[in-house]
Amino acid sequence: MGPSGALRAALWALLLPLISAQEGILHAFSNDNPLLKKDYCITYNPSWTSLPSSLSSAIPTKLTILTPKLLCNSSDVPHDIMRDKAAVVMRGNCSFLEKAWIAQGLGAKILLIASQTGLDTPSGDRTMYKNLSIPIALISNVDVLDINKSLGNNVSVTLYSPPLPEFDFSMVVIFLIAVLTVALGGFWSGMEELEELKAAASSDNTPVSRKTSESIILNPVKVVVFVVLSCVMLVLLYYFYQWLVYIIIAIFCLASSISLYNCLQVLIRKIPFGQCRISCFNTAFEVRLFLLAGLCIAAAVVWGVFRNEDSWAWILQDILGISFCLNFIRTLRMPNFKSCVILLGLLLLYDVFFVFITPFLTKNGESIMVEVATGPFKNSEKNYGNMLEASVQQSAPHEKLPVVMRVPRLQFCTPMVCGLPFSLLGFGDIILPGLLVAYCHRFDVQTSSSSVYYISCSLAYAVGMVLTFVVLSLMKMAQPALLYLVPCILATSAIVAWSRKEMKKFWEGNNYQDQSGSYAEEEPQPQCNQKAGRDEAPGSF
């Protein structure tokens, strides 16, 4: 085995315990009206059950719903009621294999076990399934009730498990959104830096005025505090999701409406028309900006009201999310490369820990990061050891955190039915690398280096995203994007600085904070030096 084979084996050894239960699709249709049909998620053990890979190769079987029967004894049901049918019984009191042996003995073709406590992998004595011929699958009890309600009593079902596509083209849309947002956010930050430097150069007797009220400087101490608070918030969301999700939704609506206004008003001000003003409380307002503010608020409110409409609400969420990321990259400023390394390094460890390590620490083997990002699945229930939650319905079963870009999957696959119909990319995977791209562009502006840092870092981010998607396609499971993005952008930025013999200046920062916390110009004007020390102070939390 060569080095590449050994590396692949080591990766699979690390990731194999995190692979979830084998998921499949139950296709149900009414025998009285074949146009009435619906797909439902099931889980099964591939060691016991082999399902066809397409609907056309699956054989329909008439469904009989026997819940709340448990089928732990052959006398629980009449002997002929299950013959040549797909039988649904309730989970509990005996093992899945015991139910399967009884169902097979009674002539059933398929055994479906209705669960109120989640769709985990069917398991049991491995020596017992060798002579078992009927498929066994778990289905949510809520879905069983929906079949009876939506399709009636005369229903047939087929079970199949389509393979995951090698490449989902929705990732191309995600890629374009991420790269363009990072590049545009970094460009915007650099252009603001250029405007501030021009304003400083043109003023002889007035203080140099940076936008300290709009900007926040992340020094190393604030970076550590930020990462610690992120860890605490993620853990709180995992355990108190059903309450905190509504607070996050409210914050997102407020922050995204402000961000959308900040992004659009820059474009509106470039238009030389419609600049009429109205006076109110001794202050003049541009009518077009007032209307723009109303439009941005309305967009956030509409998303807040219809956020669970999967058919179109994702478009509005992505628009608000892009504006949020752009405004965040512009507002949050890194003073030097050292702070960027500390921030991205700590958050890389944070990302890997909460994606790859936490499944070994949680009682139900869940990744905290993935669970919080995707939210609770519809009809899902958490099982803590042998203790089950008292209520079958969760407080917020459909709510998802608005902290991701969402693009619908463009190819039909099992995750579309089993609660993940979208490809996702977290805001953090855009904002955090974007802060380094923004610093690189500001450094280019300060040193007149022809945008070499900005362009190289933006290209490195694009390469890191491609690498993320390649690994995602190979592993068929969620990936911490920062694991691939951070090394790409940090290494590229460092190589450019070394090759240009500017590493010390790039590491310490050219034009931002000195250790006392005040701005220090590299070559300050003598008559403005004292004023700059008094008037210019970094924004703070």
Q: Which residues are catalytic?
A: 351, 429
298: phi then psi, degrees, rounded to nearest 5: -65, -40
β-sheet bridge partners, residue 425: 405
DSSP state of 255: H
- Between CA 224 and CA 65 the distance in angstroms is 56
Measured in Å, how far apart are the chain's first and last C-alpha atoms?
Answer: 53
Which helix (H) or strand (E) is 58 found in, with range? none
Long-range contacts of 379-382 (CB under 8 A, 24+ apart): 379/140, 379/142, 379/143, 380/118, 380/119, 380/140, 380/419, 381/116, 381/117, 381/118, 382/118
> Which residues touch 446 (CB under 8 Å, ≥6 apart)?
193, 197, 510, 511, 522
Query: Using an 8 Å Cβ cutoff, are 392 and 297 in contact?
Result: no
Two tokens, residue 386: 């042998």
Name the pairing type of β-strands 216-217 and 332-333.
parallel
- Angle of the 428-447 helix axis to the 170-202 helix axis, nearest 10: 30
Which residue do the tokens 């921030």 mark?
A: 343
Q: What is each CA distance from 366 to 120, 174, 354, in whole angstroms?
A: 12, 25, 10
Identify how many contiguous H helices and E strands the chain contains and give both numbers: 16, 15
* Of 229, 235, 60, the residue nearest 160 (C-alpha): 60
Taking alpha carbons only, the member of 459, 456, 511, 461 closest to residue 482 is 461
Does residue 202 sit in helix, strand or coil? helix
3-state secondary structure of 407: strand
Q: DSSP of 365-422, one letter per residue?
A: ---HHHHHHH-PPTT---EETTEEPS-SS-SSSS---S-EEEEE-SS--HHHHTT--E
